Amino acid sequence: MTRVFYDVSFLAALALMLGYVCMWHKHSDVHVTLVFILVPVINLGYCLLGRTQSAEAALVANELSYIGGCYLMPIMMLSVFSLCHIRLPKWLSVALLAAGTAVFLSTFTIGESGLFYKSIEITHTPDGIVMVKDYGPMHTAFYALIIACFVSSIAAMIYSYIKQKQAPRKLIYMLFLPIALCVASFFVGRKLVRQVELIPAAYAASMAVYLMIGHRICLYDISDTAVDSLVQTGDTGFISLDFHLNYLASNATAKAIFPELNNLTVDWPVAWSALLRDTVLKWLEDFRNDETNCDAFYEQGGRIYQVHVGYLYHGRRKLGYQFILTDDTSDRQYINLLNRFNTELTDEVNEKTAHIVEMHDKLILGMATMVESRDNSTGGHIRRTSEGVRLLTEQMGAEDGFELSEAFIRSLIKAAPMHDLGKIAVDDAILRKPGRFTPEEFEKMKAHAAEGARIVHEILDGVEDDGFRRIAENVAHYHHERWDGSGYPEGLKGEEIPLEARIMAIADVYDALVSKRVYKDSMSFEQADAIIMEGMGKHFDARLEPVYQRARPWLEAYYTSVNAAQ
């Protein structure tokens, strides 16, 4: 009777293993697969134990049966953690299997030492061999391993049930059954039935449950089912190459898009096809030079396909390259139509915007010119200082500690004519005075800086370009501040003075020096240069000294041309 029970358990395990082979998927959980490999081996040990009449063979079969507790229980526990989406550190998994190995190796001492069995008596009966065992310390470790695996599995299932919403509830229920059956057969079955071991039947029943678990996993694993469905539907093309640019595989959709794939031999270079060399390998070259450049478009047969280039993975390991082709014809046609409409609309808006900006700039320049016309000593000043600002900014670079954006330079040049707008609030008697100012008059003249900032703020309030508005206000407000703090209106010093105002200050003073005024003649370029250089670190930012020196020839050439034209 014992022999028949063990034989049936072994045959059931074989049948279930064959069932699993039929439904096996390349992405099946490795721990579940190991269960279906180990159980037939373990049940074979019990089958041999029931059939043998030799004491030596009985000992070998007995040792074989211990694979169940030493390896099967830890693997069942690891399957619980894996399917409950709980990641164990790799070292912990290795340590667990190492502990199982140590216990299993200790079974080889049976009959030679008291490490696993203190003693064992083997008797022959009509039903086969009966073993009476006195367990040793390693057998206690064997039980401890089983209990630890059971307790850890139950804890993982409880944690997953409570905390992890993405862990399937039905799967958790099903995972409890095999590990509970095995533990019950170890500790309860031996108490209830002494003539035969219930463990092989429990293992076979566990396989049946794992067969249902394996089927259920396919429903939950969206990454596998989605990819398989995607490949089978034929809506998406796939081409795979290895790192040596040899052809690996492609599906029917890809071959319909690139008929040349039908003529390629697996593991042969793709470059042998002229069309694929000019398309697939060109896309791959762009991707290898810059991995963000992973998308391209290909037109064939009146259709437009989007091509995505990426790596071919097995787990986390890169094996080669993969090309995914999707029909993007409808979207591209819609995008082209939309782009054409947007382009036309953008051109129209840009044209109107440019006209408005031009009118706005002319209005501001007109105001600045009107203010300048009130001051009979500064004719052409705003035009000349604007050019001076442009020449200075052209010489500024990272080597001087300045990294100016194109937008900053453009805004500063555009704002330069507005630097003296505040003079509109200065009394004509002071503004048009032919001689030097008295201290009282000079105090009134100094008010033009703060007043200019206020006027600029009012004019540009609501302008979308906040950067330009800020630069224009700073130029008007602070172009008379000095590096050493002796300027006006706020007495700022050093880098408290905005950079745009520091640049404006050099252009403003240089123009005042080399230009003729009603109260003075123009200075020579050498005299003006001496004054500017003497002011570096006092009046002007010393870091702008090399910038000024590089710009000086261009400034002199410009003012020479201006003087010649007058």
3-state secondary structure 159-183: HHHHHCCCCCHHHHHHHHHHHHHHH
Last residue of a domain, one of 222, 254, 276: 222
Burial class, 493, CB count within 10 angstroms (exposed 0-12 / middle 13-18 / buried 19+): middle
CA–CA gap between residue 70 and residue 121 (Å, rounded): 23
Which tops the pLDDT comparison, 423 or 283? 283
Same domain, 193 and 62: yes
Please tell me the predicted confidence (pLDDT) of residue 330.
74
Can you tell me the mean pLDDT for 361-367? 61
Which tops the pLDDT comparison, 74 or 128? 74
Same domain, 13 and 140: yes
Domain count, the chain: 3
CA–CA gap between residue 282 and residue 302 (Å, rounded): 21
Which tops the pLDDT comparison, 289 or 59? 289
CA–CA gap between residue 480 and residue 436 (Å, rounded): 17
CATH number reported for the structural domain that contains residue 555 in this entry: 1.10.3210.10
Please tell me the predicted confidence (pLDDT) of residue 110.
82
pLDDT tier for residue 112 given thresholds of 50, 70 and 90: confident
Is the residue at 121 inside a domain?
yes
Same domain, 290 and 215: no
- Percentage, residues of the chain above pLDDT 70: 82
Same domain, 63 and 157: yes
Please tell me the predicted confidence (pLDDT) of residue 272.
87
Can you tell me the mean pLDDT for 203-229? 68
pLDDT tier for residue 222 given thresholds of 50, 70 and 90: very low
Can you tell me the mean pLDDT for 496-517? 90
Please tell me the predicted confidence (pLDDT) of residue 551.
92
Q: Angle formed by the axes of helices 545-565 and 499-514, to 10°?
A: 40
- Tell whether the model's pLDDT for residue 228 goes beyond 60: no
Is the residue at 186 inside a domain?
yes
Residues 6+ apart with CB under 8 A from 341: none
- Tell whether the model's pLDDT for residue 145 goes beyond 80: yes
The pLDDT tens digits for 426-445 are 777 776 676 677 788 888 88
CA–CA gap between residue 167 and residue 172 (Å, rounded): 8
pLDDT tier for residue 302 given thresholds of 50, 70 and 90: confident
Half-sphere exposure at residue 141, Cβ-oriented, CA atoms within 13 angstroms: 18
Task: Count CB neighbours of 38 within 10 A.
Answer: 20
Please tell me the predicted confidence (pLDDT) of residue 515.
85
DSSP code per residue over 458-505: HHHTT-S-HHHHHHHHHHHHHTT--TTS--SSS---GGGS-HHHHHHH
Which tops the pLDDT comparison, 360 or 475? 475
Same domain, 251 and 372: no
Is the residue at 8 inside a domain?
yes
With H, G, I as helix, E, B as strand and everything else as coil, classify residue 324: strand
Residue 289 belongs to what domain range? 234-327
Which tops the pLDDT comparison, 68 or 210? 210
Residues 6+ apart with CB under 8 A from 179: 73, 76, 77, 80, 149, 150, 153, 206
Please tell me the predicted confidence (pLDDT) of residue 180.
87
Same domain, 427 and 502: yes
Residue 119's DSSP bridge partners are 134
Same domain, 303 and 157: no
Please tell me the predicted confidence (pLDDT) of residue 491.
93
Is the residue at 333 inside a domain?
no
Same domain, 243 and 217: no
Q: Angle formed by the axes of helices 439-460 and 466-478, to 10°?
A: 180
Please tell me the predicted confidence (pLDDT) of residue 391.
93
The pLDDT tens digits for 234-288 are 578 889 899 999 988 888 888 888 998 888 888 889 888 888 999 999 999 999 9
Is the residue at 520 inside a domain?
yes
What is the enclosing helix (H) or strand (E) of 119?
strand 117-125
With H, G, I as helix, E, B as strand and everything else as coil, classify residue 146: helix
What is the enclosing helix (H) or strand (E) of 554?
helix 545-565
CA–CA gap between residue 232 and residue 224 (Å, rounded): 12
Please tell me the predicted confidence (pLDDT) of residue 566.
63
**236-242 and 128-135 beta bridge pairing:** unpaired
The pLDDT tens digits for 543-558 are 999 999 999 999 999 9
What is the enclosing helix (H) or strand (E) of 111?
none
- Tell whether the model's pLDDT for residue 170 goes beyond 90: no
Same domain, 109 and 137: yes
Q: Tokens 């782009």: give the residue.
A: 339
Do 236 and 44 contact (CB within 8 A), yes or no?
A: no
Can you tell me the mean pLDDT for 289-317? 86
Is the residue at 431 inside a domain?
yes
Mean pLDDT of the chain: 81
pTM of this prediction?
0.44
Please tell me the predicted confidence (pLDDT) of residue 541.
92
The torsion angles phi and psi of 125, rounded to 5 degrees, stand at -130, 165
Same domain, 267 and 152: no
Which tops the pLDDT comparison, 362 or 554? 554
- Tell whether the model's pLDDT for residue 68 goes beyond 80: no
Which tops the pLDDT comparison, 484 or 112? 484
With H, G, I as helix, E, B as strand and everything else as coil, classify residue 352: helix
Is the residue at 43 inside a domain?
yes
Can you tell me the mean pLDDT for 149-172? 81
Can you tell me the mean pLDDT for 391-419? 86
Is the residue at 372 inside a domain?
yes
Please tell me the predicted confidence (pLDDT) of residue 102.
92
- Tell whether the model's pLDDT for residue 505 goes beyond 60: yes
Same domain, 279 and 157: no
Among the residue ranges 25-34, 281-290, 400-409, 443-452, the one predicted with the least confidence is: 25-34
- Tell whether the model's pLDDT for residue 355 goes beyond 90: no
DSSP code per residue over 414-453: HHGGGTTGGGGGS-HHHHT-SSPPPHHHHHHHHHHHHHHH
Burial 421-451 (b: 16+ CB within 10 A, else e): bbbbbbeeebbebeeeeeeebeebbbebbbb
pLDDT tier for residue 21 given thresholds of 50, 70 and 90: confident
- Tell whether the model's pLDDT for residue 230 goes beyond 70: no
Same domain, 69 and 207: yes
Q: Tokens 């804890």: give the residue.
A: 155
